[in-house]
A and B are shown apart, each in its own frame.
Chain A
């Protein structure tokens, strides 16, 4: 058990860090694989990500290293967690590491999960799926 749970995932992409960086920081591309929003690689920049049924979630950029690292607070008024994207060149491709941390079961989102407990586990997992937003279609229109 860890004191504060975190998620860390790695994925290799057969293209240069600059291309991956663009997909993380260009709103038009970003909307095609995750969520629409005015993301920008500038420390202190506040933006919103449209999480569908869960609403537009306020975010704030906390660290930027061009084509290497992008870190922002995610859903500052509810889940309030930190998402970090790290890019490392690997051969002709890029290894992308995602860290999602700072989960607090005492946050409104944690409490929401807690309320779901009364209705049993399958309920919670379905609910989580919907609050996090349906996967955007790859042909979804740009915002």
Chain B
């Protein structure tokens, strides 16, 4: 099991934004830090949380450390959303029944 669950990792807007950046390809910490106002130490800390949630992996390249996106744990979020989707599908079918009964009644 990851040390940090995917929901707490995604709960922070900076971390969500880091993941969006990493969709375009691996990035070095300094490169990422330039895109945020929070400062490099904070960005490093966020990256550690993402790493513990297995949403990113590190790759040392010379003196730099690059971060890659690992989207697999996101399937947990999809499952969470899937419960809502399933719920709505049932409601939309229930609506169909009601509309049908109303149609019969007005005939």
Known interface pairs A3-B20, A105-B7, A110-B11. Does A128 touch B94 (Cβ–Cβ under 8 Å)? no
In the complex with contacts A23-B102, A117-B7, A34-B84 CB distance below 8 A: no
Stretch at the interface among A36-44, A58-66, A96-104: A96-104
**B76, CB-defined interface residue at 8 Å:** yes
Minimum CB–CB distance from A88 to chain B (whole Å) comes to: 15
Residue of A nearest to B16 (CB): A3
Q: Which residue of A lies closest to B80 (CB)?
A: A113
A135 CB-CB contact with B under 8 Å: yes
Stretch in contact with the other chain, from B30-38, B59-67, B85-93: B85-93
**Contacts A100-B84, A129-B83: A110 and B7 contacting too (C-beta < 8 A)?**
yes
Contact A1/B71 with A114-B8, A132-B84 known, Cβ cut-off 8 Å = yes
A11 to B94, CA, bound (A): 11
Smallest CB separation, B68 vs chain A (Å):
14
Chain B residue nearest to A12 (CB atoms) is: B96
The interface residues of chain B, by DSSP majority, are classed as helix
**Count of chain A residues with Cβ under 8 Å from any Cβ of B?**
35
Instruction: Please report which residues of chain A, range 89-126, place their CB below 8 angstroms from some CB of chain B when the two chains form the complex.
Output: 96, 98, 100, 103, 105-106, 110, 113-114, 117, 121, 124-125
Q: B87 contacts which chain A residues (CB < 8 A)?
A: 128-129, 132
15 cross-chain CB contacts under 8 A:
A1-B23, A9-B85, A9-B92, A19-B99, A23-B98, A23-B99, A33-B91, A34-B94, A96-B92, A103-B84, A114-B5, A117-B7, A125-B83, A132-B84, A135-B94
Q: Please give the residue numbers on chain A whose beta carbons come within 8 Å of chain B beta carbons, in ascending order.
A: 1, 3, 5, 7, 9, 11, 13, 15, 19-20, 22-23, 29, 32-34, 96, 98, 100, 103, 105-106, 110, 113-114, 117, 121, 124-125, 128-129, 132, 135-136, 138
Give residues in B with beta carbon < 8 Å to A. 5, 7-8, 10-12, 16-17, 19-20, 23, 71, 74, 76-81, 83-85, 87-99, 101-103
